[in-house]
């Protein structure tokens, strides 16, 4: 699972780097860190990404991790998104507030993420 996620993160770094962004992969993200997986910057644009490479019908994030991500975004003011790499379909980007919140998890269906339809081209 770790290798798959790290590979997806490196893919996203390459896409943004090729588009002229400076990209930073956060050490220890996802373990016990509050910071997102990737930070990318280009004059006038800055994004933070929590990356997921899941082949499931739903993407779920533990509520505590979700709250840490939202808190980080509020403290930094950096546009923060969840990047969901779907096999054979590429990346979809979701703002944290677009997830449904339950008692333990925050989630979004693959169908809803596709309906939102936010692809990488919009961010470059």
* Active-site amino acid positions: 29
Q: Give the C-alpha separation, 121 to 17, whole Å.
A: 14
| Alpha helices (runs of H) in 1-124, residue ranges in sequence order | 2-18, 63-76, 110-116
Distances (CA, A) of 47 to 25, 103, 105, 115: 12, 28, 23, 22
């Amino acid at each position: 699972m770790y290798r798959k996620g790290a590979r997806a993160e490196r893919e996203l770094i390459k896409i943004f780097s090729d588009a002229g962004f400076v990209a930073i992969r956060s050490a220890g993200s996802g373990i016990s860190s509050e910071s997102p997986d990737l930070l990318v910057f280009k004059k006038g644009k800055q994004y933070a990404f929590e990356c997921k490479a899941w082949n499931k019908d739903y993407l779920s994030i533990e509520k505590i991790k979700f709250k840490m991500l939202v808190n980080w975004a509020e403290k930094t003011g950096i546009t923060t998104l969840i990047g969901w790499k779907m096999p054979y379909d590429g990346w979809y980007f979701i703002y944290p507030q677009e997830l449904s919140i339950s008692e333990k998890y925050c989630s979004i269906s693959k169908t809803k993420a596709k309906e939102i339809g936010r692809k990488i081209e919009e961010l470059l």
